[in-house]
Amino acid sequence: MTTRRTNRKDVKVTTSAPDTQAEQPGAAGPPPFSIIGVGASAGGLEAVSQLLEHLPCDGSLALVVVQHLAPAHESILAELLDHKSPLPVSEVTDGTPVEADHAYVIPPGFDMRLEGNLLRLTPRDQTQRPPMPIDGFFRSLAEVLGRRAIGVVLSGAASDGTLGLSAIKAEGGITFAQDPASAAYDGMPRAAIAANVVDYVLAPPAIAAELARIAHHPYVAPDGLALALPAKLGEASELYPVIFDLLRRAFGLDLTHYKFNTIGRRIARRMALRHIEALEEYVALLRDDPAELEALYQDVLIMVTEFFREPETFTTLREVVFPALTDGRSPGQELRLWVPGCASGEEAYSLAMALDDFLTAASLRPQVKVFATDVNQRAIDRARPGIYGESVASSVSSDYLVRYFAKVDGATRFPRQSASSASSPPMT
């Protein structure tokens, strides 16, 4: 470890590999300030530097940078960033506590996650192709911080970070992507934007300005939701029924029986994004701005899915459900499966793959149709083409990738032309 003096104070910049076996104190609860997860790859040094240059140093936030780094080479990224940052920048060792007004950089060859207020490291599985360290860290951020999680995807190739931003947004957190026009490599920002998991698309200096504002909004404070929302629908006067009526009239969506806490979190999130703290002001905006009403509608119907989510469910399907469905079924007899609320299609396609695999192993060939439906037309439009980024490889086995997917213009498409007995799901 080296220590050098800057114009702020002594800053420790770790240049040796972290000792993941060292004794570390237990994790405390999440801190009261905002923790910003930042993912970057090719071209990331410039983008992260621009972001850091414009961040405040007022005790409101900390930054954790997950950069794609060559695992076999020592990194000087923390030292390079520290020269341009108003916050001290250090490379993470296992068990590093997160402090306000600090920035942290992942070391090469490790995956990182947040546990309470600690950054934990594990050696990266070198057989994982492609590695997705940004997705992994963002997911831990969402799990620990919930609606207080904030994720930023900057310059980089491919699609790491998209699934992580989806997890953050699903928990009510706030997401950013670098404006592709300002990125040296626009693959990662474009993948996240195309997946509809990004709240703000901005250049790095503008992202920093928005982060500084959001870090002070009541929504991201530990007790922010209690401050922003009434505890029960009955305490909401007539404002929530007004919002429900506006959504029903515009989209035919009846929220009467939705969980109030779920709806409340989505409304509070939109208020934070629109710089609003009073519910009355937000209702007035919904009345006057169809685009905001559409945005709230999309937030209520947030898509939370991935291939083979909840693996134990698919184990039960293969061992119990599929045998029961096919027992005694004649080859010409049609077998129909339905996935309601299919979101962007991963669950329906996973079901089709699992069923086809089962039928092939059992030498069965019934006529099969898998139907998938969703009330959200935007979800259907995304699901129908079956086009996904390279993050598919993190949840789909290599065998299934070869059997059921094809590479088309740099993307991954389901199904391959030669697969499968289980038909591609009709999307309605």
Beta-bridge mates of residue 35: 62
Q: Which residues, at least 6 apart from 312, have a Cβ–Cβ distance to it below 8 Å?
A: none
Residue with tokens 């600690």: 118
Rg (CA), the chain: 23
Task: Considering the candidates 68, 186, 356, 391, report the single residue annotated as catalytic.
Answer: 68
CB 196 within 8 A of CB 303: yes
The answer to whether residue 41 is catalytic is yes
Quick check: 175 and 168 in contact, CB under 8 A?
Answer: yes
Q: The tokens of 347 are what?
A: 């669950």
Give every CB contact of residue 87 below 8 A, 6+ residues apart in sequence. Answer: 52, 55, 57, 62, 63, 101, 102, 103
Q: Are 30 and 185 in contact (CB under 8 A)?
A: no
In one-letter notation, the amino acid at residue 313 is: T
Task: Indicate if 68 belongs to the active site.
Answer: yes
Strand partners, 318: none
Residue 282's alpha-carbon distances to 228, 289, 297, in angstroms, are 12, 10, 14
> Which is the catalytic residue, given 34, 41, 140, 344?
41
* CA atoms 371, 327, 359, 320: torsion sign: positive
DSSP 310-346: SHHHHHHIIIIIHHHHHTT--TTSEEEEEEES-TTSH
CA distances from 9 to 3, 5, 6, 53 (A): 10, 6, 6, 17
Task: Give the angle 126-312-114 at the CA atoms, nearest 5°.
Answer: 50
**Measured distance CA(339)–CA(343) in Å, rounded:** 10
Helix (H, G, I), strand (E, B), or coil: what is residue 74?
A: coil
| Full strand arrangement of the beta sheet holding 411-413 | 387-388, 411-413, 406-408
Q: Is residue 52 a contact partner of residue 81, using CB atoms and an 8 Å limit?
A: yes
How far is the C-alpha of 190 from the C-alpha of 196, rounded, in Å?
A: 10
Helices (H) then strands (E): counts for the chain: 16, 17
Q: 3-state DSSP call for residue 59? A: coil
The whole-angstrom separation of Cα 329 and Cα 189 is 48
Catalytic residue check, 160: yes
- Among the options 111, 135, 160, 199, which is catalytic? 160
Residues with catalytic roles: 41, 68, 160
